[in-house]
Homo-oligomer: A and B are copies of this chain.
């Protein structure tokens, strides 16, 4: 049994706690939040605290808090040389205080919403660790959660985190612009949802490069001109122009 102390009470920490408590090979020993009211409803099932000095001994300490606070909290941990990991996509492994020689990263690459329950089998975990046995401990936790586990280095993790901003935030903003365009003519955005689903599904079997279609890919200047003329919103126009240019660049159209 791997024992875990969870530090933090945000989206990631709360989703992790609810998933970890169902796992057989791991046990959450204690849960820390500086604001105890955030986790007080769990006090019948797990030991909770808002005092770092009261932290019990565990095999792993998972720090799931905002990026800016990780370094500071890791310094305040009242022990040396235990396995301490954070869950951030962009914070350096070495930002965990160096008195914890056993450092690691346990980065779940998924979009977490407090309201929506998450199926952890759909959450890839990117793991970094300095020592092989720490990697194996983190891998066991990831697999106990039903996750797919990936060994990454710091640069790979940072690239994945940045690519995730494109794949999640920017894709979602493209959906938003599509929504606006529908609304401008009182067309039902729901009609686009099967296309959005199919667009995401397609790249499971072909690369985004091969999946591309449409006027920019074909170099169809007439349609591009016609569509640009339809857009009367500057931001929509700018996005249309830049992504058309980007597709042309990718596919060698000029």
User: Which B residues lie within 8 Å of A238 (CB)?
Assistant: 242, 246
**A169 with B213, Cβ < 8 A, contacts A191-B150, A195-B110, A198-B122 known:** yes
Q: Give the distance to chain B from A105, nearest Cβ to Cβ, in Å.
A: 14
Each complex incorporates copies of this chain amounting to: 2
Report if A2 contacts B (CB, 8 A): no
On whether the beta carbons of A250 and B176 are closer than 8 Å, the reply is: yes
Q: Do B177 and A126 have beta carbons less than 8 Å apart?
A: no
Cβ proximity bits A127-170 to B, threshold 8 Å, 1 near / 0 not: 00000000000000000000000101001111110111111111
Given contacts A179-B209, A182-B163, contact A230 B158 (CB under 8 A): yes
Query: Are the CB atoms of B162 and A198 closer together than 8 Å?
Result: no
Q: Which of A152, A160, A189, A204 has the most CB of B within 10 A?
A: A160
Cα distance A78–B106 in the bound complex, in angstroms: 69
CB-CB nearest in chain B for A186: B156
| Contact, CB under 8 Å: B202 / A243 | no
Complex: A208 Cα to B209 Cα, angstroms: 25
Q: Across the interface, do A185 and B173 meet the contact criterion of CB distance under 8 Å? A: no
Task: Decide if A247 touches B199 in the complex (CB within 8 Å).
Answer: no
A215 contacts partner chain B, Cβ-Cβ < 8 Å: yes
A187: interface (CB < 8 Å) = yes
Q: Is A172 an interface residue (CB 8 A)?
A: yes
A223 lies within 8 A of chain B by Cβ: yes
A98 within 8 A of B: no
Q: Residue A45 at the B interface, CB < 8 A?
A: no
Contact call A227/B177, Cβ cutoff below 8 A: no
Q: How far is the CB of A190 from chain B (nearest CB, A)?
A: 8
| A interface residues with partner B (beta carbon < 8 Å) | 67, 90, 109-111, 113, 116, 122-124, 126, 150, 152, 155-160, 162-179, 181-182, 184-189, 191-205, 207-209, 211-217, 223, 226-227, 230-231, 235, 238-240, 242-243, 245-247, 249-250
Closest A-B pairs by Cβ, 7 of them: A200-B200, A169-B214, A159-B185, A175-B208, A176-B208, A156-B187, A163-B178
